[in-house]
Structure 1
Amino acid sequence: MPAVARFDLKMNVEEKDVVARAAALMGTTMAAFVRTAAKEKARELLDRESRITMSTQDFQAFTAALNGAFSPNAALQHAMNLAREVRRA
């Protein structure tokens, strides 16, 4: 059985009435209704925020940068040289 955590929620009388009526229409408890609604909303938000949306122009610039020749700047070249020396030691 998965671990269970408690979450307390306070709402005003009007909010409680709305949730109670909606839960009754769904044939479920208020707790189950709120839990399901919160989980759905959280998943939508997490899904939306885990994606990067680019315009066509931005995507083309991004892919061109990925496909283009790479040349490290002086600081990165120095760091890579140091890393090669450390591996040999």
Structure 2
Amino acid sequence: MFISGFYGKLPYTVLARIFGGYTMSAVARFDLTMDVEEKDIVSRAAALTGTTMAAFVRTAAKEKARELLDRESRITMTTQDFQAFTTALNEAFVPNAALQKALDLAHEVRRV
């Protein structure tokens, strides 16, 4: 077969372009051990939603993970902290003495 001559030589994305959009999706496995009570609870909940146990667990885990990642990517400030933060952003920047010295030296350096 013609494709076999390319095996291991071209990335799949190139083959996809050559052979009309054939795409492959990556699948990762995750094994989970549950006790009987946990499995029964998940099984009953999956049945109530009309889905498989695997789909139910995958959906629940993804929702929880997104919720956690969303919460951890936010910064919570008190009103006083927020006021100080916005004031600092809105005021003109004034470098301290050490930074000003470094800036002055950088302007003196001739760049190649």
Pairwise TM-score range, normalised by the shorter structure: 0.7 to 0.9
The aligned residue for residue 25 of structure 1 is 48
Deviation, structure 1 residue 3? 1.1
TM-score by length of 1: 0.84
Partners of 1:87 and 1:29 lie apart in 2 by 67
Which structure has the higher relative contact order (CA within 8 Å, separation 6+)?
A: 1
Partners of 1:34 and 1:79 lie apart in 2 by 56
Deviation, structure 1 residue 2? 2.6
Report the identity percentage: 83
Please identify runs of 4+ aligned residues in structure 1 that moved more than 6 A: none
Structure number with greater Rg is: 2
Q: How does 1:1-89 map to 2 (within 5 A)?
A: 1-86=24-109, 88-89=111-112
Structure 2: stretches of 5+ with no match in the other structure: 1-23
- Over the residues paired in the alignment, what is the CA RMSD in angstroms? 1.8
> How many residue pairs get matched?
89
Considering fraction of residues, name the structure with more helix. 1
In structure 2, do the counterparts of structure 1 residues 78 and 32 end up closer, same or farther at CA, with 3 Å as the change threshold?
Answer: same
